[in-house]
């Protein structure tokens, strides 16, 4: 398989320059067809076997477990969203007054509000590690500041593998070692990394990993995945749905109420996790992502982005140095001379789709992108600079 020639798997017109997978991924054709097939199947529900409530979900968990290097697929829960997964985590953590929960500056809201509520409830501290003001070695210094922030009062460090708008890469292995030293939990939001950037639970050993499924995992909007480690084996789910209990596959015996949950992360699975439409689309998506491999995706994006980043820096943009950023997603700070509204109009006129997030213009690429896409974006910036 030529990893650089995958655009035919997608339905993206030639005149469209889509550098915005970090916002919402395009479905490739196999995912689209899986969704159509599932919609048609729902038209004849009498042909849907009861096993479809369970078996495809098991297969889905197994595929996600393989992607993140987890041996026990039952440590995977299928969820509705990243916020659902983070809320489940926070729901099972108790703090002492004076303890702290560490977050990164301008973290995505779904990985902020639950921690704000938790620390407020227990009169604990929400400790935000700010990005350094300097643009010299910013990523390196930010990583150093995170390590220095973790102390004996730290109960939780909650963060992404990368920053969702700048693409700054965090050294999770070093951060995990520091949290172990201080007996703090490490909760990772992998929504903007897992699928496009290699991640190993065996290597990092997070206490939980939460991922939205509609970005780099190419699922439909409204799906996600979570890994829950041993700390959460006996926790409380957000909801009590019938599929989370032992022997729930015996449909005739459902009113023989069961006090016990299924083992490990099964208790945290969302209600209606067997969604016949979503699951079929998710399976088609994960099969392809596993075939591509995150390593190959990251390598392709590195090849595309390094040259483009160099050109953009020469035009006066600030981008984190290549060693401290991801290559599938990176943010750039524009020169002050650029009129943002005028630049947005130029991009729209040229069919270029990117995200504006805080101080950054965020570019995110995948296997369907080519050098021409970055060239088009750079041409638009040059027009704005005139």
Nearest Cα to 168, choosing from 372, 351, 332, 373? 332
Q: What is the set of domains in the chain, with CATH numbers? A: 7-22+293-385 (3.90.1150.10), 45-291 (3.40.640.10)
Cα radius of gyration rounded to whole Å, the chain: 22
User: Given the DSSP bridges, would you call strands 100-104 and 154-160 parallel, antiparallel or unpaired?
Assistant: parallel
The more confidently predicted of residues 42 and 73 is: 73
CA 76 to each of CA 58, 159, 212, 370: distance values in angstroms, whole numbers, following the listed order? 9, 19, 13, 34
Query: Which residues 6+ apart lie within 8 Å of 310 measured at CB?
Result: none
The whole-model pTM stands at 0.96
Q: Find, among 126, 44, 298, 70, the residue nearest to 196 by Cα.
A: 298
* pLDDT tens per residue across span 26-44: 999 999 999 999 999 989 9
Question: How confident is the model over 136-188, as pLDDT tens digits?
Answer: 999 999 999 999 999 999 999 999 999 999 999 999 999 999 999 999 999 99
Residue 57 contacts by C-beta under 8 Å, 6 or more apart in sequence?
78, 269, 273, 274, 279
User: In Å, how far are 14, 49, 219, 272 from 35, measured between CA atoms?
Assistant: 24, 18, 10, 17
- Give the model's confidence band at 250: pLDDT under 50 very low, under 70 low, under 90 confident, else very high: confident
117-139: pLDDT as tens digits: 999 999 999 999 999 999 899 99
Expressed in angstroms, the distance from the first to the final Cα of the chain is 42
Res. 1 pLDDT band, cuts 50 70 90: low
pLDDT in tens, 270-288: 999 989 899 999 999 999 9
Measure the CA–CA gap between 125 and 118, rounded to whole angstroms. Answer: 10
| 140: exposed, middle or buried (Cβ count in 10 Å: 0-12, 13-18, 19+) | middle
72 in Cβ contact with 195 (< 8 Å)? no
Count of helices and strands (H, E) across the chain: 11, 12
Question: Which residues are within 8 A (CB) of 356 and not within 5 positions of it... i.e. 6 or more apart?
Answer: 340, 344, 362
Q: Are strands 208-212 and 224-228 parallel, antiparallel or unpaired?
A: antiparallel
């Amino acid at each position: 398989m030529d990893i650089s020639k995958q655009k035919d798997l997608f339905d993206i017109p030639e005149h469209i320059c889509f550098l915005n997978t970090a916002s919402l991924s395009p479905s490739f054709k196999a995912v689209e067809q899986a969704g159509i097939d599932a919609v048609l199947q729902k038209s004849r529900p009498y042909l849907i076997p009861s096993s479809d409530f369970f078996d495809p979900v098991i297969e889905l968990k197994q595929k996600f477990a393989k992607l993140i290097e987890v041996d026990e697929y039952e440590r995977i829960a299928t969820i509705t969203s990243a916020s659902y997964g983070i809320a489940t985590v926070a729901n099972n953590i108790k703090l002492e007054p004076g303890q702290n929960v560490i977050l990164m500056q301008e973290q995505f809201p779904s990985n902020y509000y639950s921690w704000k509520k938790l620390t407020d409830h227990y009169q604990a501290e929400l400790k935000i590690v700010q990005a350094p003001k300097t643009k010299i070695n910013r990523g390196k210094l930010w990583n150093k500041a995170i390590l220095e922030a973790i102390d004996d009062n730290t109960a939780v460090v909650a963060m992404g593998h990368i920053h969702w708008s700048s693409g700054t890469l965090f050294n999770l292995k070093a951060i995990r070692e520091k949290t172990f030293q201080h007996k703090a939990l490490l909760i990772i939001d992998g929504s903007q990394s897992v699928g496009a950037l290699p991640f190993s639970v065996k290597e990092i050993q997070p206490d939980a990993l939460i991922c939205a499924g509609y970005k780099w995992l190419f699922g439909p909007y409204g799906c996600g995945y979570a890994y829950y480690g041993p700390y959460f084996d006996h926790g409380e789910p957000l909801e009590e749905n019938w599929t989370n209990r032992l022997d729930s596959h015996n449909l005739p015996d459902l009113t023989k109420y069961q006090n016990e949950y299924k083992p490990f992360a099964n208790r945290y699975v969302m209600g209606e996790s067997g969604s016949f439409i979503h699951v079929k689309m998710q399976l088609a998506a994960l099969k392809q992502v596993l075939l591509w491999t995150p390593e190959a995706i990251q390598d392709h994006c590195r090849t595309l982005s390094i040259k483009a980043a160099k050109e953009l820096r020469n035009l006066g943009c600030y981008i984190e140095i290549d060693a401290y950023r991801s290559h599938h997603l990176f943010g750039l700070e524009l020169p002050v001379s650029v009129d943002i509204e005028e630049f947005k109009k130029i991009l729209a006129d040229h069919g270029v789709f990117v995200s504006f997030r805080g101080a950054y213009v965020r570019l995110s690429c995948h296997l369907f992108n080519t050098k021409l896409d970055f060239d088009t974006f750079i041409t638009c910036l040059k027009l704005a600079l005139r």
